[in-house]
Amino acid sequence: MQSCKLTPEELKPSVYVLRLGHRPARDKRITTHVILVARAFGAKGVFIADVVDEKVKNSITKVLNSWGGKDYFIVDMGVNPVKLVNEWKKDGGCVVHLTMYGINIDDILDTIRNRCKNKILVIVGAEKVPRIFYELADFNVAIGNQPHSEVAALAIFLDRLWNGAELCLCFPDAKLVIEPSERGKKVRRIE
């Protein structure tokens, strides 16, 4: 018995994540977690600004091959972030920057849902985010106004955006699926 109810393609709008400031020597674990949360919470892919990190790419490829998503979830590294944001907006997409300095999610989420029906690019930073991204973003959104993790902010934003529907995702190409269990760990292999 599998508890999933929908495929990632059924979640609307389409959401992608732009990860700024990845430092391969320091951030590989956090960036990997940003990508894992993006995938598990229904995003269609992640763009890593400016750098290519083969260790992160290899780690995510293993997850996609086993747990699903390789047929639809993209990870694109070394992208020019300003160019990506400008092209995204020119193509009709919305840009949401998650920052503790923004407008509280509860005060802006309905506006985002109403204006961003097609596609959203969610920006999450690592180190200090350059001012240009605050200016280019359609929405600067705060998940609280205290220092916190970009991984947590992304998870909360996606969960609120889709009202929890993303927690029931099925990945049709998965080779491994978890069987819900009150106690213990049950993983089923799909041949």
- Taking only the tens place, the pLDDT of each residue in 74-105 is 999 999 999 999 999 999 999 999 999 999 99
What sections of 22-80 are H helices per DSSP? Answer: 24-40, 54-67
Phi, psi of 126 (to 5 degrees): -115, -75
pTM: 0.94
Lowest mean pLDDT: which of 18-27, 36-45, 157-166? Answer: 18-27
Confidence of residue 147 (pLDDT cuts 50, 70, 90): confident
How high is the pLDDT of residue 127?
A: 74
Confidence of residue 3 (pLDDT cuts 50, 70, 90): low
Q: Are 121 and 80 in contact (CB under 8 A)?
A: no
- Taking only the tens place, the pLDDT of each residue in 151-161 is 999 999 999 99
Task: Please enumerate in sequence order all residues whose Cβ is within 8 A of that of 37, keeping only pairs 6 or more positions apart, or say none.
Answer: 151, 154, 155, 158
Q: Residue 29: is its pLDDT beyond 70?
A: yes
Token pair 């506006």 is at which residue?
111
User: CA-CA distance, 71 to 133, in Å (whole number)?
Assistant: 30
DSSP assigned state of 80: -
